[in-house]
Structure 1
Amino acid sequence: MTSVKALAGTGISYSFLKTLKATELTALIKSGFAAFDQPISQGFVAPKINRNVDLYRIFYTIDINHPQFTEPQPQVLSGLLMIPGLLAEDTQEERTLPLAIYNHGTLFNRQLPPSKVVFEEDQEWAMGSYETLINIGLFANNGYAMIASDYVGCGNNFSFLHEAYGVKEPTSEAIIGLLEASRKLMPMLGVNPAQLFLNGWSQGGMNTQWAVQQLETLQIPVTTAAVSSPFNELQETAKWWLSQGSNNPVSPAEPAPWLSLCVGILISSYESWYDLNGLFNALIKDEVIPNGKDSEGNVIRNDAKVTYREILNRFAQYGDSAVKFDSSFSNYSWAVNIIRDGFKFETTIPGFTPADMLINGALETEIGIQFLQKLESISPRYWTYGTPLKAWYGLSDEALPPDLVAPGMKDKGGPLVTLVPVNGASHRQTFLNSLLASPLNPKGGTDQNLIDWFASFRKASPAVPTLVAASDHLIVKSEDFGVLAVLLNVEQQQGERAMHLQIVRTRQDGRSELIGTLGGTTASANQLQSLGSARVLLQVGDQLKFKLLSTNGITSDTFIIAIQKREQDSGFNVNLKNTGTNQAGSLQFSILPQPNIFKAIDVVAAPQSEVNNGLLQLSQGQKLNLEITTDCAFINRLGFVQLNTDPLTGLVVNTVGKENIAISSTRFKDEIDTLLDPGFQISTGGRQISSNLDWIVGQDGIYAPVLITPQGNVFCGAAGGIGSEQMRMLGQNIIGFEDLIGQYSDYDWNDVVFEIKSIS
């Protein structure tokens, strides 16, 4: 099994899946392509891949708003990240890559989304989504990194939430959330994303339109986007599927029988996500499906008397596993054949068309009308794009008639939308033609594929994000998508008490997140002063803001800030004066753009974005060099404890053979001597100036510093830990402790200060 690594404090974790060699990837695509193309063999040729690819599964957290929740709840979603390997002519420095988002089509097995395109099962590798695999190969061939969301209710989230099929809000949030997570992770993996491209097929074409609209709203630059067989007129499409008098007048194809499965998923999803209680039973017949014949002419008998409502409800809830692995369906050979032929797109079973499953007159009922109104209200066509967008649609598409694509996109999409009608193309042929532009001839369009079209927008040197000053904050701007790392370095601190700031990233939608802390210690009698620095990663459109952190941990805006452009470089000097009572002082710091590629010391600091969170993310065998500075009367002890996460009590020490010990508990204090990591402990103080110590980490994990005073007080340097208020984050991997409590404290935070100087 693959191991999962966490970027603690970010809500992101990831696992390296596999490096697929170019020859191996070519073979996988060829075999998968043959199965995908077999029913419609039109001479398409599977591409040969010339690059190895590294595949990662990303887990990320977003807040989900669902009727079952009283307020938005955090949910862990999953997605795929592909990073192409180097060619002989490439150099190691050429790791600034365009980033493509691929949005997949309808899945009949929600447990095989993009992040399971190759997955480990019984120590063997097997293929998941063919369409994702083809996109991986083509984008890798052309030097793109690629991400693909599993969507809500698929992949990692399969067991927790109903699939959000055709549901706008959580789908868009899942795609944007993966982009957010990827822009944090990729620099940690040595890759800098620049220029953003989107592609999607079928359901993914609709999702791509929604994602582009959301990105435009957030003012995140998108270079261009492509969609093939995109659902656009949702209400009219649903009516056509159900043969209920759509306004679409002409279609060369009849609705495919496999659309019955799609309709079942759609109706069930809308009941769940849009709180349309009773919708599924109001629309789907509770009648036995008649016997029929499979695609080979064999009689399929419905001896188990399966009803439309029964099989579609199970399928909507569980996907194909409902019939493959559910023991109560083990004798339903008829149902298994539906799923088998549904995957092949060859279903010929009479009595199982979308129109057959609908209760007569159901769409004219109150709840049926609500369903149609919701479809209409979220149709992607209500948008004028500021992004160049090209749409391929098949003139013989059995899932999406051309008149349900072209008019809406042409009339509403604006001048940047280009339509490519593909003569004689089915649903799958349209997808292949958009990627390969062969062998079908577009009718009145172009034979250029989307990879070549994207290439026409590629830049040899994408615009580098820059910082622009406003009155009290800075903004990251660029014509292209990208990320920008900046170094904040304290130059001077004055005042009776040490000042500390929260570094805040505010996104275009107004949501803010803490991404670091900055400050220093007060100057001592020995003129000893520790000043912090922090390196943070921002995205185009982000605002960099600050909050003042008081001695009791309360934040405020009681300060005056002046931001001045530096003449010698592209950075800024900032002077911040505290105007609050009893804490007058000032903090001067510089802000300077940095290379985006992060190093091991940045990974160690990943958990430190939270207020007063001195956690370190360490790996077994790492050698850390710590510089320890003290200016206090006491001899204190400094050590570290390894932590885990308990779902009930938060951060805990996981003791072997014993109950976990919460870091906020008195037991943690009482047993601290047995909990400290034996690899690092030091007694320090007594007006020492500084000392240096190496530490070789014994185990992978998250570690928190602990200070033990001669009075027996225990201060744990992790948010929520016992005595955590006695610690301050001065910056990235720079942590200061105050060893006196309450009225006896001078809040200089210089009694014990440690900084990680190097990692090997």
Structure 2
Amino acid sequence: MRRSMGTFFSQTLCLLCLGSLIPGIMAGFLETRTGYLTEPAAYRLEAETMVTAERLSSAVASSFALFDTSSILPALDSGTQGAGSDVILRRIVTRTIIPETGDSVEVTGLLAVPVSANSTVPVVSWQHGTILSFDQVPSNMVKLSDPNYTLTDDADSLETLFNIQRFAANGFAVIAADYIGKGPLRNGRGEAYVVKGATTQTCLDVLNAGLTALKNLDLTPTKLFLHGWSQGALNTQWLHQALRSGGVAIEATAVASPFSDLDQAWRYWSGKVIFPLPEGLSSYAALAPWIAPCMIVALGSYELYYDLPGLLATAVRPQYRELAERYWNDYNISAIHPSDAPNSTNLLVDSFWKGYTNDQISALQRQLISNTAINWDYDSPIRFYYGLADAAIHPAMVTRTLAAGGRFTEGIHVANGSHRATFLAGLYGDQTSLDGHDNVLSWFQSKLL
């Protein structure tokens, strides 16, 4: 599936030199499975605020331990890892058409631009990971307009904070989508969790709006980089493939803790696939308790967006159905008592993996297989950062993707890396924690030379 190389730099310059530039003009060369985005998309920017480099680094330092759950990194070194520039944050509002349903909806995202940017700027498209709430989205970083606002793990997208401090405060513009069913314009819409078309189209449209906004801010995008973690790692691979299908050049892509094959991931989470221990380990991390809520959200999303009525009720064991329906509607994890909570190995009905159960479950399994991201021959550099103590992603799930991805793929393991610590190490680690490799920021910066 290798596509011909496009030149993002030259296409961008060509498009941006048009005297009649209008918002969305760059959509002409972004392609998805449903075809080229030929209609110019209007956008607006809201809630502009500037955040100082000092405040960004202070917020990251306060949140560092929440992600370094394996204690594999030293504390943040403000001298070598601090933000290098103040950053201007803006909420992006644009529209997307959901391929699975045909609905046209407003979606939100974040545009973060270094104050130091002057005439040109490289761009990082950031795809955030699983967030089991409706509100912990990248665009909520504009809350930092309040100097007294304190970011917290249960109310904010701290992973986006790290990306802003690491990339936007060190010379890159960062563009990040909030995803369908999340953010200030959710309007009661259900999430499209790991729904390929809706997710990819939203990321494309927010990226397109952000790139156009940069031009209208008198900044020319130069090189394009992609970064994602966990669910966002899957979304990043989908986005990468869609952009390359449209001939858009990508300088480099980095993903952390990726589950690239949904069918394989569900079998692993359900206990139906057992991988051998990674070399040198005598045990491996038990599956995380938050995987079951993620599977519930995925079931609700697939029922909604792939028109599979009754999927949630028929796929979940009877004793957990009422809980699952309630959680899909309110995301209130605190209402689930631990003694009543399912885990990923006992959530699904016994017949789920044994043969035909009903049309909805069969359709779900076909869709999980169809939404894989491993059937791609990468023709630009992509790194997969994976932990050796990740309670959601087994290393065997990543090495399979590396083997299939071609010569531009590279795997970097993080010794003792939990799910969160792997993400953090990818951004702030060094050769000691990253098996002799550099972190994502250093790698991206090397591509600018």
Q: TM-score range by the shorter chain?
A: 0.7 to 0.9
Structure 1 position 435 matched with structure 2 position 427: yes
Q: CA deviation at 1:316?
A: 2.3
Q: Quote the residue 1:27 is aligned against.
A: 58
1:229 to 247, 257, 266: 257
Partner of 1:457 in structure 2? 447
Whole-Å Cα distance in 2 between the matches of residues 234 and 250 of structure 1? 21
Whether 1:356 and 2:388 are equivalent positions in the alignment is no
Give, in angstroms, the shift of residue 7 of structure 1.
7.1
Give 2:45's aligned residue. 14
Residues 77, 425 of structure 1: alpha-carbon distance in 2 compared, 3 angstrom cutoff: same
Work out which of the residue numbers 117, 121, 137 in structure 1 matches 2:141.
Answer: 117
Q: Percent identity?
A: 30
Q: 1:52 — aligned with what? A: 86
Q: How far has the Cα of 1:74 moved from its partner?
A: 1.7
After superposition, the Cα gap between the structure-2 partners of 1:124 and 1:424, relative to the gap in structure 1 and judged at 3 Å, is: closer
RMSD of aligned alpha carbons: 2.5
**How far, CA to CA, are the matches of 2:294 and 2:41 in structure 1?**
36
Runs in 1 of length 4+ with deviation above 6 angstroms? Answer: 6-9, 120-123
Change (3 A) 1:7 1:207: closer
CA 1:191–1:126: 2 relative to 1, 3 Å: farther
- Change in Cα spacing, 1:387 to 1:317, as seen in structure 2 (3 Å) is farther
Question: Where does 1:571-582 land on structure 2 (aligned, <5 Å)?
Answer: none
Question: Tell me, what secondary structure is at the counterpart of 1:78?
Answer: strand
**1:380 is aligned to 2:373:** yes
Check the 8 A contact 2:73/2:425 in 1, yes or no. no
C-alpha contact (below 8 Å) 2:177/2:203 kept by paired residues: yes
- Relative to 1, partners in 2 of residues 1:232 and 1:66: Cα closer, same or farther, differing over 3 Å? closer
Listed as ranges, the matches of 1:624-663 within 5 Å are: none
What per-residue deviation string (whole Å, max 9, x for no partner) do you get for residues 144-169 of structure 1?
01111101111134225321111111
- For 2:226, which of 160, 185, 198 is the aligned residue? 198
Structure 2 residue aligned with 1:598: none
Find the aligned partners of 1:59 and 1:173 in 2 and give their Cα distance. Answer: 14
Looking at secondary structure, tell me which structure has more helix per residue.
Answer: 2
Match of residue 309 from structure 1? 321
Query: Can you list the C-alpha shifts for 1:374-430, whole angstroms capped at 9, x where unaligned?
Result: 1111110011111210111112211011111111x2222111111112222111121
**Which has the higher relative contact order, 1 or 2, with Cα contacts under 8 A spaced 6 or more apart?**
2
Task: Return closer, same or farther for 1:44/1:439 CA change in 2, 3 Å cut-off.
Answer: farther
Contact in 2 for aligned 1:80/1:148 (Cα 8 Å): yes
Is residue 371 from structure 1 mapped to residue 364 from structure 2 by the alignment?
A: yes
**Alignment-derived partner of residue 113 in structure 2:** 83
SS of residue paired to 2:149: strand
- Cα deviation digits, residues 632-678 of structure 1 (max 9, x gap): xxxxxxxxxxxxxxxxxxxxxxxxxxxxxxxxxxxxxxxxxxxxxxx
Superposition deviation, residue 21 in structure 1: 0.8
Matched letter for residue 396 of structure 1 = A
More strand by share: 1
Letter in 1 for 2:403: D
User: Are 2:414 and 1:402 equivalent residues in the alignment?
Assistant: no
2:290 is matched with: 258
Code of the residue aligned with 1:286 in structure 2: it is P
Q: 2:73 aligns with which of 38, 43, 47?
A: 43
Distance 1:273 1:194 in 2: 35
Superposed, 1:317-716 pairs within 5 Å as: 317-320=329-332, 332=335, 335=336, 352-363=342-353, 364=355, 365-366=357-358, 367-407=360-400, 409-438=401-430, 441-442=433-434, 445-459=435-449
2:281 equivalent in structure 1:
none
> Cα deviation per residue 1:74-107 (whole Å; 9 max; x = unaligned)?
2110000000112xxxxx8x33010001110000
Amino acid at match of 1:416: F
Give deviations 1:152-188, integer Å, cap 9, x for gaps.
1111342253211111111111111011111221122
- The answer on 1:131 being equivalent to 2:159 is yes
1:275 aligns with 2:307: yes
**Partner AA of 1:413 in structure 2:** G
C-alpha separation between the residues in 1 aligned to 2:146 and 2:385? 40
Tell me the equivalent position of 2:198: 170
CA distance in 1, matches of 2:346, 2:223: 47
Amino acid at match of 1:264: I
Residue 61 (structure 1) aligns with = 95
8 Å contact from structure 1 (residues 100, 145) kept in 2? yes
Unpaired stretches in structure 1, ≥5 consecutive residues: 1-5, 87-91, 288-307, 325-331, 339-348, 460-760
Cα distance, 1:195 vs structure 2 = 0.4
Does the CA-based 8 Å contact 2:49-2:144 persist in structure 1? no
* Structure having the higher Rg: 1
Cα pair distance change 1:137/1:372, threshold 3 Å: same
CA distance in structure 1 between the aligned counterparts of 2:75 and 2:219, rounded to whole angstroms: 31
Alpha-carbon distance between aligned partners in 2 of 1:422 and 1:350, rounded to the nearest angstrom: 34
Q: Is the 8 A contact 1:118 1:126 kept in 2?
A: no
Q: Deviations over 1:406-457 (max 9, x none)?
A: 11x2222111111112222111121111111248634xx4331111111221
